[in-house]
Amino acid sequence: MENKRFTCIALLVILLVVVLLYGGYFDVKGNAFDKRKVSSVVQNYLSSNYKNEEFKLDKIEYSYDKYVVNVQSSTNRFKEFNITVDDEFGDRILKDEYKENSKQIELAAKVSSYINNEIEPNIKESIPQFSRIDIEMLEKGNSYDSVDALLQEVQNGENDVLGKINIILKGKNITEKSFLSMILSLKGNEVLNKYSKNFIIAFYYYPKYANVELQASNILSYPYYSVELLENSSLWNYNDLEDKAVNWKINFRYVPELVGVLFILISIVLVKKLEHYNNI
């Protein structure tokens, strides 16, 4: 009887720890029910405030009692912004980036679309595994009033870095060496070279099945390899690429999950061993 009582107590303790761990995990990441509710709130807000715009919701991230909802235009994927929703008091809209800064969001979207349309054909021609380009405009572009003025400065290479160009590759069984060789095939490319003077150029390789990329709430959305370059593409060489490359397959982003699983397995083994000794 004493042995069974001890076993029950041990199992309850393990169950409690697991519940607390996963409760904290979902509290940090948000839960599916609340995300659906927030999605509905934001969609109603967009319908009421932007009747002439075609906006759609992308990802929803939970952070410190707030949900941050990424909104994209259906006509220009580079036109995007975040809406922050309060999770505690009636799902209030706390912040609307488009309402606060529509002029610069429009400018960044038009410039990004232009750059994408110029670079994309060059990469497609050289790398069959090419998927798409994401472009992030940084704050230094905020002082410009027109697309032409900003593009001229970027193409002339007269300013500091104005943004980041993320080039996404997807494929099956690509090695890190093959990934870097693909990047090197773009060395000195006339169009890419023009923008590599003022933009961080980042390459990411994802497995073919990846539907989302670099989403904080989904560890399966991380790439296999990546490399960021802040220099003229005509100066690229294999050794430099190799030094700057990150192999995400062996990094430590899985450690919290692995520790949790390992703790549960060890606890189960210990309970079984105690049961065995108590029965002897």
Kindly report the CATH number assigned to the domain that includes residue 80. 3.10.450.630
Q: pLDDT band for position 25 (50/70/90)? A: very low
Taking 90 as the threshold, does the pLDDT of residue 120 lie above it? yes
Higher pLDDT: 13 or 202? It is 202
Taking 70 as the threshold, does the pLDDT of residue 127 lie above it? yes
Among 115-124, 185-194, 220-229, name the most confident range: 115-124
Nearest CA-CA partner of 210 in 229, 223, 191: 223
Say whether both 82 and 189 belong to one domain.
no
Say whether both 77 and 108 belong to one domain.
no
Taking 80 as the threshold, does the pLDDT of residue 51 lie above it? yes
pLDDT at 181: 95
> Does residue 253 fall inside a structural domain?
no
> Does residue 76 fall inside a structural domain?
yes
pTM (2 decimals)?
A: 0.73
Rg (CA), the chain: 24
Check residue 216 and report its DSSP letter: T
CA distance 62 to 31: 9
Tokens at 72, concatenated: 């994209």
Identify the domain containing residue 46 by its residue range.
Answer: 2-98
CA distance to 34, 62, 243, 261, per residue, from 27 (Å): 11, 9, 38, 18
> Does residue 141 fall inside a structural domain?
yes
Say whether both 135 and 162 belong to one domain.
yes
For 101, what's the count of Cα atoms within 13 Å in the CB-facing half-sphere?
16
Say whether both 14 and 26 belong to one domain.
yes
